[in-house]
Amino acid sequence: MTDQELIAAARSAALKAYAPYSGFSVGCAIESVDGDVVTGANMENACYRLGICAEQSALTAAQHAFGLDKVARIFVAGGDGSGDELTGAQTVTPCGGCRQAILEAAQLSERDVEIICSNGEGSVQERHRISMLIPHGFGPANLADAG
Ligand code: THU
């Protein structure tokens, strides 16, 4: 799929968010090394802290579909999902917890996973690598010396 198609997939996934508390819908599309694509959206909870981000929702789907070690590219978009299409001008980058979750996949695959961040209306393409978003991170590779 093209970058534009994957941004569209992330925007469309955001419309399936369950975000009654924040009103902020986030969608994520993950592409595997073989070109398979899964999506996810944020799912909030009345016990606020139990909400799940779009990226972690999509990473769960990725593990089921092709395995975390095959994650190649991650597309994120967020904004107002109350209408027929996602809107909003501000770019969404993964929160700290999601960066840590992406690092798990990145270290498993020994790949500097690419993260393409967009806004609600899909007019932005901000490109990052996980090594830039979480420098000096702690992941499975750092447990090599465990007993
Ligand atoms: N959110 C995500 O799904 N991903 C992010 O990277 C940033 C934040 C969600 C969590 C919450 O449901 C809403 O956006 C507002 O923070």
Give the SS3 label for residue 52: strand
Tell which residue, 16, 69, 71, has the closest CA to residue 38.
71
CB-based contacts of 2: which residues, under 8 Å, 6+ apart?
Answer: none
CB 85 within 8 A of CB 72: no
Give a yes or no: residue 143 inside a domain: no
144 in a domain, yes or no?
no
CA separation for the pair 107, 105 (Å, rounded): 6
Can you give the residue range of the structural domain that contains 45? Answer: 3-138
pLDDT confidence of residue 104? 97
Q: How far is the CA of 54 from the centre of ligand 1 (A)?
A: 7
Q: What is the mean pLDDT of each run of 10 residues along the chain (147 residues)?
A: 97 98 98 98 98 98 98 98 98 98 96 98 97 96 93
The SS3 of residue 60 is: helix
What integer pLDDT is reported at residue 70 of this predicted model? Answer: 98
Pocket test for ligand 1, best of 16, 21, 22, 26 (most atoms within 8 A of CB): 26
Q: What is the pTM of this model?
A: 0.97
CATH code: domain of residue 106 = 3.40.140.10
